[in-house]
Structure 1
């Protein structure tokens, strides 16, 4: 991926610390044990669990961020992260178009994209999520892989995420039923373009966004992104870092594989609502009476956690990222100031609540939504960016720094 900055960037990466062998073996053991339990629910679930592990490895090795990409673009005009998003979305859109147009999945079931209604809940939820990303320090996928890297504040972000998801599930009747909304709009099936025409349209839009980031870079001359410690040669596959463009390709292919195997794209945050609701249920709360857990979702609430596709993939991400952090030698428990802990918890709650209202997070609505040719995915991106701008104004209140033009690195 080309460098956006007009300033000189370092030519070498800092070297990695030594491999943490005991942690590597713990990750391998966790993969084997959990994989054995997952297999009880069928080979399809086992494949999805393995894809989750590979997603965790890819996310960690490239430090692939949605939160940082939005923050760097709006604060200093650094568009390298957003260009990686566009590459990822372009490849996923083409692969999704093939799967949708042929109706081909591994099980023979018709593939279903993430195409959701457009209404107040989407707008407010994505805006709230954008603020939460900047306070919590990571999005949904970033939270999972950063928890595995040893940063304790992201545990609080995850706890807040779960709490916010359950809170929104409780309020689901108001947001999804009582407030007005428009029906789902597919750029492929609602417009007459078909999947080929919709894919071409989105490729043009992605190219335009890439050109826009270069235009911004020429105007603002942003600092380069900070290099990530890496190994050399073939060891880089296991002991990272990976270039952003490599991770973008891997994530796009793995999302397409998820759609091909399960009939549905990759998602993350619906599992958080499930985990939190099951916890409340164990304390005697009748969550099954909530509108959110009616219809198709009722089965997930009644079934074991590992029978849920999103949950087992989330567990896979955590294990994969933990393995990558241990293999890279970068796993380290860090001390974090209280204000940042507070911001993490508040940001997590905002993201959890916002993700449910907006039918998903940066993965379910932004990545998988746009790749599914849903107009709601593009609207999510716009209002999440607006929320990011608001979040940047709030970050200093919690001792969180924003990138500046005078910085050496983003």
Structure 2
């Protein structure tokens, strides 16, 4: 228990700190791909995937960790990921983003987090468990892209690394937009950690390294997985109700660490403050949180579990899930952000 407490909290705190300071928000990133035609956060995600993929498969080949891709529940992954994508727009953040933004004092994120934990628990052990199991029963026998195609996993990793390297070089060659900044109030390390804006690509590399470290740290406690948010979040609520100590594992301390690390970063950077949402935002946050919990449980992972980890493991589940999370985000973004603007413009035209 002490090992889980220490390593899980440390890994989670580092992740929460880095995400908070780097503003690593996949919800905003996926949304901006569609609305603002800004792909930088998506590119940052690809960097984190590539870094993790190289590191984890080195660990696998050296025998330090084990991984089995299992079967591919394609129907559940497609439907669940699309619903999850809709949910994160309403909630104002993905699963991990909700944890770290709750650490900043956003009450709306607390509301979304409760809905996410509640529905995840309902899907995993409540009255919707039969629905979850029935939809996941439709499977393809092999989830590994390498095993399905008969091509070495290192070929796919090499292709990803080359693509990511080309993207990074192209983006870094673009002319920089100089944004006037206030005079730094801190010097040295304090300025770099808590004032200077972190580049999303630098943040992504750090997240990739943390994701690599999560594998051996987690497996040392008997949990054969890397970063994961949905099941640990459900376990927290289930433990609070049942008192079943078996629900407490490394992943639980990981997500609690994310909250703690984000809180430390927000306080140190003077960004922490309690912010109460209006009624409409609060309702959307709760609804979005429930959709997140339903979708992530059905898909077997969230934007981190599937979109960052299972993609790095070169599984069908990870890459198919990432595609449908993005499509769900774009669909919700159209109805939440674009269509209301068109309706207001049409109303104004008719009135004038």
For Structure 1 versus Structure 2, the TM-score category normalised by the shorter chain is 0.7 to 0.9
**Separation in structure 1 between the aligned mates of residue 151 and residue 265 of structure 2, nearest angstrom:** 42
Contact 1:114 1:368 (C-alpha < 8 Å) held by counterparts:
no
1:203-222 aligned within 5 A: 203-204=161-162, 206=164, 210=167
1:393 to 320, 334, 337: 334
1:341 to 282, 295, 300: 282
**Separation in structure 2 between the aligned mates of residue 80 and residue 228 of structure 1, nearest angstrom:** 24
Shift of 1:206: 4.4
1:265 is aligned to 2:216: no
Contact 1:143 1:157 (C-alpha < 8 Å) held by counterparts:
yes
CA distance 1:174–1:207, change in 2 (3 Å):
farther
Partner of 2:38: 78
1:93-108 aligned within 5 A: 93-105=53-65
1:155 match: secondary structure: helix
1:172 is aligned to 2:133: no
Contact 1:162 1:272 (C-alpha < 8 Å) held by counterparts:
yes
Q: 1:241-278 CA deviation, whole Å, 9 max, x = no partner?
A: 42212211111001101112223211111112212333
Partner of 2:246: 303
1:362 match: secondary structure: coil
1:234 to 179, 189, 194: 189
Contact 2:70 2:143 (C-alpha < 8 Å) held by counterparts:
yes
CA distance 1:399–1:346, change in 2 (3 Å):
farther
Shift of 1:173: 2.9
1:59 to 19, 24, 38: 19
Structure with greater proportional helix content: 2
Shift of 1:385: 1.1
1:149-298 aligned within 5 A: 149-169=104-124, 170=126, 171-177=128-134, 179-204=137-162, 206=164, 210=167, 233-240=188-195, 241-263=197-219, 264-281=225-242
CA distance 1:228–1:167, change in 2 (3 Å):
farther
1:68-147 aligned within 5 A: 68-105=28-65, 111-112=66-67, 117-147=72-102
2:93 match: secondary structure: coil
**Separation in structure 1 between the aligned mates of residue 61 and residue 93 of structure 2, nearest angstrom:** 34
Contact 2:69 2:143 (C-alpha < 8 Å) held by counterparts:
no
1:248 match: secondary structure: helix
1:329 is aligned to 2:270: yes
Shift of 1:44: 5.3
* Pairwise CA RMSD: 3.0
Contact 1:114 1:265 (C-alpha < 8 Å) held by counterparts:
no
**Separation in structure 2 between the aligned mates of residue 278 and residue 358 of structure 1, nearest angstrom:** 23
**TM-score, length-scaled by structure 2:** 0.84
Q: 1:357-408 CA deviation, whole Å, 9 max, x = no partner?
A: 01010111110001111111100011111101121133259999xxxxxxxx
**Separation in structure 2 between the aligned mates of residue 376 and residue 139 of structure 1, nearest angstrom:** 18
Shift of 1:227: 8.8
CA distance 1:168–1:399, change in 2 (3 Å):
farther
Shift of 1:321: 0.6
CA distance 1:135–1:228, change in 2 (3 Å):
farther
**TM-score, length-scaled by structure 1:** 0.72
Shift of 1:113: 5.6
**Separation in structure 1 between the aligned mates of residue 144 and residue 106 of structure 2, nearest angstrom:** 39
